[in-house]
């Protein structure tokens, strides 16, 4: 079974631009969560999508948004990029929604650099 | 409030030494789950173990073992006879069942960077 895939793996953008990251979950998994990892803040939860609905959202500004498609693939979008948005963005998939203790399987991440 | 604390930022050991990574958590939920993940230099988080709040049995998997103690809110991870390949950042994480308002997302500690030298 293929694991979680994320594209692109690396991205360089400039301040003010917007960016879209993509995540394909493990086949059969319906929940996709996104996390931001920075040296200063560590791993922080962005949002979770389940059956095309945003189920849960972390404490991030509205510039961070996402969506999930009927095939469970998910995208996250960051508009008006700031230098502080430079981070590793990790996507995780699980069979069912969070709260049930199910394992979340992580992708390799997208390394975003904002110049 | 939910919180996970990994007090050890970095640990360095010599191969074959045993090492314990500490994890202390805070939650008001009575039903919750604890996890350990490993992040090698490649960046991908690798799932190691999950424990629910009702199961305090220690677990051993090869050279890895976990000690869960609700009385001290700790979920410590021990690597026996460490190897160079164990070098990575290890994260402890908490997920609540959601009865306290949380929706079950993972709350991570800051991680412990383990370096195993030959």
Q: Which residues of A touch B98 (CB under 8 A)?
A: 98-99
Print pLDDT tens along chain A (115 aa): 679 999 999 999 999 999 999 999 999 999 999 999 999 999 999 999 998 999 889 999 999 999 999 999 999 999 999 999 999 999 999 987 766 777 889 999 999 999 9
A99 touches chain B (CB under 8 A): yes
Higher-confidence residue of A29 and B102: namely A29
Q: 3-state DSSP call for residue A10? A: strand
Q: Which residues of B touch A54 (CB under 8 A)?
A: none
Reading the block at residue B83, the tokens are 């190897």
Reading the block at residue A28, the tokens are 């059969």
Mean pLDDT for B80-96 is 95
Q: What's the CA gap between A6 and A112, in Å, rounded? A: 12
Give the model confidence (pLDDT) of B4-55 as tens digits: 999 999 999 999 999 999 999 999 888 899 999 999 988 889 999 989 898 8
Give the model confidence (pLDDT) of B52-84 as tens digits: 898 877 788 899 999 999 999 999 999 999 999
Q: What's the CA gap between B29 and B56, in Å, rounded? A: 16
Q: Which residues of B touch A105 (CB under 8 A)?
A: 47
CB-based contact A109 B37, cutoff 8 Å: no
Q: What's the CA gap between A70 and B73, in Å, rounded? A: 40
pLDDT at B100 over 50: no
Per-residue pLDDT, B101: 45
Per-residue pLDDT, B60: 83
Per-residue pLDDT, A63: 97
Per-residue pLDDT, A6: 97
Furthest C-alpha separation in chain B: 47
Per-residue pLDDT, B98: 64
Furthest C-alpha separation in chain A: 39
Look at strands A64-68 and A74-78 and give their pairing.
Answer: antiparallel
The closest alpha carbon to B31, from B102, B80, B81, B82, belongs to B102
Per-residue pLDDT, A16: 97
Residue ranges with strand state E in chain B: 3-5, 10-14, 19-21, 24-26, 32-39, 46-52, 59-61, 64-69, 74-79, 88-96, 107-108, 112-117
Angle at B23 between CA B117 and CA A86, to 5 degrees: 75
């Amino acid at each position: 079974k293929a694991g979680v895939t994320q594209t692109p793996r690396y991205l360089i953008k400039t301040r003010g631009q917007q960016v879209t990251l993509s995540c394909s979950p493990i086949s059969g998994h319906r929940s996709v969560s996104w996390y931001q990892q920075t040296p200063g803040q560590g791993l922080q939860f962005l949002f979770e999508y389940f059956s095309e609905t945003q189920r849960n959202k972390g404490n991030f500004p509205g510039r961070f948004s996402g969506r999930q498609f009927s095939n469970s693939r998910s995208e996250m979008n960051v508009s008006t990029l700031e230098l502080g948005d430079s981070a590793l963005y990790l996507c995780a998939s699980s069979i069912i929604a969070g709260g049930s203790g199910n394992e979340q399987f992580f992708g390799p991440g997208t390394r975003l650099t904002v110049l | 409030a939910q919180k996970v604390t990994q007090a050890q930022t970095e640990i360095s050991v010599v191969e074959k030494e045993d090492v314990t990574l500490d994890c202390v958590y805070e939650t008001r939920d009575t039903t919750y789950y604890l996890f350990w993940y490993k992040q090698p230099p490649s960046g991908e988080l690798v799932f190691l173990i999950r424990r629910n709040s009702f199961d305090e049995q220690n677990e051993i998997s090869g050279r890895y073992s976990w000690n869960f103690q609700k009385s001290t809110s700790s979920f410590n991870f021990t690597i026996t006879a460490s190897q160079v390949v164990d070098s990575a950042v290890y994260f402890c994480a908490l997920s609540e069942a959601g009865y306290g308002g949380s929706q079950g997302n993972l709350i991570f500690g800051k991680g412990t960077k383990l370096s195993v030298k030959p």
